[in-house]
Structures are given as structure tokens and as C-alpha cells.
Structure 1
Amino acid sequence: MIKLAIPKIELRALKYGYANARVGSMKGSLIDEGTYDELIRVRSVEGMAELLQRTVYKEDLIASSAHSGSEIIEIASARNFSRTAKKLLHIVPKEDLPAIKALLRKWDLLNMKTIIHAKMKGVKYNDIKPYLFDIGSSEEWEQLMKAEGDELFNEVKKTSLGREMLSVGTAAFSKNMWEIFNNALKNMNTFVQLESILDAYTYLFMDKGLVEVGGKEIEAIRKILKKEIDVKNILIIERLKRHKFAKEEIPKYLIKGGTLKHSFIEKLIDAPDTQTLFQLIKTKFRRLEIKESESPSLIDLEVALEKALAAEKTTAFHMSILSLGVVLGFILLKEEEMNNLRKIAKAKEFNIPENEVKEMLVMV
């Protein structure tokens, strides 16, 4: 009896059909442009929260009701993102879990940043707990907060995240990197450098997990993540230049792993004004649209870069069919939604005009 091979498209349907259908349903629950307009128009954060009660954020807003102002939106959006991420972990095929977990490592490392920064500022664990993302190593954060002085570095190494960081054996993440990390934990003046190190680990972990799974759509996601590093590095360069950092000092604060070559980074550092900087960046981000202005600001640049990157994320989602790329692309879109809600809430507290708020948002 001759056995007929199952066509590839049918194999993909069997493997990803359920997960992709669930994600398609979740995408239908993302906030649309009309709802964003309503959220911008309401006069207060309280009014914004009331509107969001009609959406998938209802449960999260109720759980965050002890807080007020923009904090309720910040905490509720983090809770909603965490809940969504956990759902995705349960619907993807087991062999693809490393890629999903790798992409979500970003939030564990963000939690570590929050914990370390809180310790340096003398903030207590219960005060920051609502702001942490409940995705991975949540049970270890409280123990980390209890560490004192030099113990902090040792406690970091004991966490599952710390052990994973130690296991990375590339030239970029050597013993010297850990020494810098340890020193940064003791000195608030080097916190910017510590953040750069944690960001570097973030992208290394994400890339490592994606490579493990592989595939055409995965390569598109990897490319987007490298572009994210480029965006962060461009903004780091400009901020440090404005704080009068010496040119030769700036490179050590940059995140490793992006696509920008050393020669291009030098050009960015040497750019005498924002207009020159924009012209350079346009050669790397084709979809970059800068608002015409005699003196465009750093905020204009940041928003423009976010939008250019978001366009690539949206493309990655829509080009993926019956694949893990649909799930990974959705995580990126959900992150943009969370960022948009936080921007709107903060804008209300600072009385930023509606038209300016709308320009700040990244529509996906």
C-alpha cells in the first residue's frame, strides 16, 4: 500500500491551526483606532479607565482599583500583558516554547531592572510588586529585594535568570561584563551602563531562543529585534551627547547585537545637529517619517523610530500564515498596545493636547 505524503500546508495547519485561530481571536480584541480616539478625548484617567471597562482590560482594572491616576493604567496594562503571555504559552506546540519563552525573557530582565533600581532608591518590595510582570521568575524577586550591599550580586547569580546569564559564554558576555555589572550594582552613577548590560542580555536570550526554533518567519522577528537594538542605541547616543558625555565614552553604554556598524555609530556620535542625525538614520529606517520642523526634538525622533519599527512588526504578523510567526508577531503588537495606553494616561496628567497625544501613539 502506497502512503501519500501530507502536503506541507496541511502539516502546518495541523501544527499551528489552533494556536493561530486563538491568536486571531485575540488580535480582534486589540484596541482599534476609534477606541483610541475615545480614550484620548476623555478628560481624565478615571474616564479612560471607565471606557476600558468595556474591553479585555476590565478584569485587570478591577484588580488594580486600589491605585489611582496613571498608575492604574500602568498596572492594569502590565497585568493584562502578563495574562495574555501566559495564555500563549499554553496554546503553542511544545517544541516552539523556547521561542515564546525567549521573547518573554525581556520582561524578566525588565523586572530585574525595576528591582535593582528600587533597591538603589530605598523603595520597598510591596511598593513595586504591582509594577512587576508576572511572567517568569516572580517568586525570586522578593528574595532579591532582601539582599543587602555586596549580597545583591550573589543573590542575582542565584536566580534562574542570573544562572542563565552566567551560562552565556560568548566573547561579548565575558567575565569582564560581570565585573562591570557587579560594580554598577554598587554605584548609582553607573546605572545607565547596568541597564545597557541587561538590555544586551535581553536581546541575546531572545535571539538564542528564536535560533533554536528557526524558520523563515522567525528570521523576520530576529531582524525586528536587531532593529530594536538599533533604535535603543540611537537614542542612547543622543541622550548621552546631550548630557555632555565624552565621545570616546559613549560606545561602552551601547547595547551589543544590533545591525549598526562601528563606522556608522561614529557618524551618529559626530553628527553636529538633529537634522544631520535624521538624514543618517533615514538610510537605515526606510519607513521613518519625521515631522517637518526647524528644530525637531529627541521626542520627535523617538516617536518616528517607534512608528517605523511598529510598521515592520505589523508586516511580520500579517505575512505569517499558519506558523509560530503569527504568535510571536502578536506579542510584539500587544506590547505596542500596552505602551500606547500608558502614553495616553501620562499625557492626561500632564495636560498634553489631544493632537499631540495622537501623534505619540504607535498604531498597529
Structure 2
Amino acid sequence: MRLFQRLRNKSSSSTSSGGSNYAYVTARVRAMKSNLLPKETYSRLMNMDLDEITRFIGETQYQQDVDELARKFSGVDLIEHALNRNLAVTFSKLIDISEGELNYLITEYLKNYDIWNIKTILRGKYYNATLEEIKDNLVSAGQFKYNFLSEIAEKQSYEYVIDALSNTDYYPILMNYDGTNLPDIENQLDKLYYQRLFNAIGTPKSSDRKLFSKLIRTEIDIKNIKTMFRMKKEGVEGDELEDLVLDGGLRLSLKEINSLVPLPFADFINSLEKYPYWDSISDFADPEMESLVDLETSLTKYTIKSASSFSHVYPLSIVPIMDYMISKKNEVNNLRIIARGKAANLGEDIIKNQLVI
């Protein structure tokens, strides 16, 4: 109980009323971004085995994480935990060095990792994953710390998990989980996250909040397009699909989405041509496509490029910070994909197709 009271106090103290230190944080972020791995690194990693990858990562900005966790883990588990820990520490640093409005917005944005971790634990229980499999995927970059998440993951059933989260803002949704309606609960958690994020942004008047809002709303569009393609491919139609999309998109309103949902798959794809995301998906959008990997990878690249382009135009705003967080998350995802692929003996082409470079 005291933990969540401290979290609420910290969140409420970081309001938009305090002065923000954008110049200082963006300068720090530029330095942090210079430590991101060059694109050509990934082709080098593809030619390494797991031990070589671990040694390589241990000579980069992940060195401390690898060194400290090597006493507990090895192989792909070591890489997973080192990457997740580094991401959590990095994003926590951004909260620690930011002030006022900037701190408030970053803190609210990073609560998506709290949602991620709750989903990860519940999915693990649902699919009877091992405790280590669940812990491998926990990323304590939000307000929930790793020890707390680890303790929850060790609970024997989803009922105990939900009870452990009874003092959080997510409990009113989680209490409706009956062990079978996981997709609905996950969707409600996502909607709550964006609702709270938009409440934090408010009616954007400052340029920073307008930019922040635009990035978030673009993110929602990308998520909705991915959701619609997945559900269309699986044959989900009508009200069931409408319930899975998120409100608040930049170019795709709920009204427009509701007009797209009933269309046959081919007509649905053709209707997307008028939106700015079409150039990113036109080469992959086909009713007969066997996999959505290429399409979803291209949409993720669109998100990264959008943040990067805004970052150059507005160098003293929240956008360069968002650009860095998105790029850092993508780097960790790419390294994780390579490590997992190597551990599973996947072919080089299969691994490469999942990378976002």
C-alpha cells in the first residue's frame, strides 16, 4: 500500500505547473542517442552465435547490465534480462533528470510499460508459461519496479495476481477478468492508458503538448491499422472488431474506422490509399498475403521516421526525447529478436524480416 501511495505522490507532484528543463534534457538525450548502435551492427550480429553476441553486447552501453546479471543468468536469458534492465534504467534516468511539465508527460507516457507487464503476467498464467519465461519479458520502465513485478509473477494463479494489484488504478478493469476474457481485458487496459495520457495532455496549447499529442495520436493510428489487418486476416468482423480499436487517432477517427470495418478485405485495403500511411504498406498490403510481419514492420518504421523528422524541426521540445525513447526501444527489440532467433535456430532471412532497421 505504501508503495502505491509513494507512486501517486510522485506522479501528482510532477504536474504541468512546474518549470520544465527541456534544453538540459534534450542535450542529455543527444548524448544518449549517440550511444545507440549503428545500423550496420545488426548485419554483424547476424554472423555471430549467442556467446559472441553476449560478448559484443557486453562491450557496449549494456556492459554493466551484462556483468551484473551474468552471475544469475546465461545464454539468451542473460541477454533478455540485460536488455530489459538497461531499458528500464535508461527510461528511469529520463524521469529523474526531467522537471515540471516534461517530467509529467514522460512519466505518463512510460506507464505503457506497466500495462505491458500486467499483460505479460496474465498471458503467462493463461498460457501456462514458466516463471522464467514470464520474467524474461518484464520491463520495469514504468512505475512498477522489477522486484514488485517479480513477486506478482510468482503468484500461483491470476486471482492472486489481480489481488496483488488491488491498490492500483488498473484494478477496476482487472477485477472483471474471469480467466477466459483476456483479449477484452487487455483492450480495456490499452484504452485506459490512452485515456489517462490524453487527460495528462489536456487541451494542447503549448507547442510541446501539441507535438506530444500528434505523436501519440499517430501511434494510435498505427496500432489501429495493425489491429484491423490482424482481425481482417483472421475473419473477425463487425462489432467484435470495432471493440478492439482505440479512439483518438490523428487521421483515422472512430467514424472512419467504423466505415472501414464492414468492407471486404480487398476493399478495405484499397480504402487505405487516401491515408498518409499508405506508402509504408502499399508493397505488402494484399488480401492473399500469408504473413503480416513485413506490413507491421513497415508501419513501425513509419512511427520511428515520424518521430525523427519532427525531432530535427523542433530540437528543444519533447519530440527529440520521444524520438530517443522510440529508437532505444526499437534497438532493444532488434537485439532481442536476433538473440531469440539464434537461440531457436531460426533462418537468417526469418530473423532479418522481423528487424526494424
**Residue aligning to 1:50:** 55
Distance 1:313-1:353 versus aligned 2 partners, 3 A rule: farther
Offset of residue 236 of structure 1: 2.4
Identical residues among aligned pairs (%): 26
Q: How far apart in 1 are the matches of 2:158 and 2:110?
A: 29
Question: 1:89-128 maps to which residues of 2 (within 5 A)?
Answer: 89-121=95-127, 128=134
Local SS of the residue matching 1:157: coil
Q: What TM-score comes out, normalization by structure 2 length?
A: 0.79
Offset of residue 59 of structure 1: 1.8
**Is structure 2 residue 175 aligned with structure 1 residue 182?**
yes
Gaps of 5+ in 1: 1-13, 167-177
**Is structure 2 residue 149 aligned with structure 1 residue 156?**
no
Local SS of the residue matching 1:158: coil
**Is structure 2 residue 228 aligned with structure 1 residue 222?**
no
**Is structure 2 residue 129 aligned with structure 1 residue 137?**
no
In 2, are the aligned partners of 1:30 and 1:334 still within 8 Å (CA)? yes
In 2, are the aligned partners of 1:101 and 1:209 still within 8 Å (CA)? no
Q: How far apart in 1 are the matches of 2:341 and 2:99?
A: 40
Q: Residues 278-304 of structure 1: CA distance to partner in whole angstroms, max 9, x if unpaired? A: 433343215515436974432222112
Matched length: 330
In 1, are the aligned partners of 2:87 and 2:332 still within 8 Å (CA)? yes
Question: 1:345-364 maps to which residues of 2 (within 5 A)?
Answer: 345-354=339-348, 357-363=351-357
Gaps of 5+ in 2: 1-19
Matching residue within 88, 96, 99 for 1:82:
88
**Is structure 2 residue 300 aligned with structure 1 residue 335?**
no
Matching residue within 288, 296, 313 for 1:319:
313
**Residue aligning to 1:24:** 30
Q: What TM-score comes out, normalization by structure 1 length?
A: 0.78
In 2, are the aligned partners of 1:61 and 1:72 still within 8 Å (CA)? yes
Distance 1:339-1:245 versus aligned 2 partners, 3 A rule: same
Local SS of the residue matching 1:248: helix
Q: How far apart in 2 are the matches of 1:210 and 1:317?
A: 19
Local SS of the residue matching 2:280: coil
Q: How far apart in 1 are the matches of 2:131 and 2:245?
A: 29
Matching residue within 287, 294, 305 for 1:300:
294
Larger Rg: 1
**Residue aligning to 2:40:** 34
Q: Residues 87-139 of structure 1: CA distance to partner in whole angstroms, max 9, x if unpaired? A: 11122224421111011101111111122223334557676345322231225
**Residue aligning to 2:11:** none
Offset of residue 342 of structure 1: 1.9
**RMSD (CA atoms):** 3.1
Amino acid at match of 2:340: K
In 1, are the aligned partners of 2:22 and 2:317 still within 8 Å (CA)? yes
Q: How far apart in 1 are the matches of 2:56 and 2:239?
A: 50
- Structure with bigger RCO (C-alpha 8 Å, 6+ apart): 1
In 1, are the aligned partners of 2:304 and 2:323 still within 8 Å (CA)? no
In 2, are the aligned partners of 1:340 and 1:361 still within 8 Å (CA)? yes
Q: How far apart in 1 are the matches of 2:282 and 2:195?
A: 30
Amino acid at match of 2:223: K
Distance 1:41-1:209 versus aligned 2 partners, 3 A rule: farther
Offset of residue 305 of structure 1: 1.1
Q: Residues 313-364 of structure 1: CA distance to partner in whole angstroms, max 9, x if unpaired? A: 211322232233322332122112122222222333455554554453323x
Distance 1:205-1:64 versus aligned 2 partners, 3 A rule: farther
Structure number having the greater helix percentage: 1
Local SS of the residue matching 1:186: coil
Q: How far apart in 2 are the matches of 1:198 and 1:38?
A: 39
Task: Give structure 1 regions of 4+ aligned residues with deviation exceeding 6 angstroms.
Answer: none
Distance 1:69-1:255 versus aligned 2 partners, 3 A rule: farther
Amino acid at match of 1:137: F
Q: How far apart in 2 are the matches of 1:102 and 1:258?
A: 18
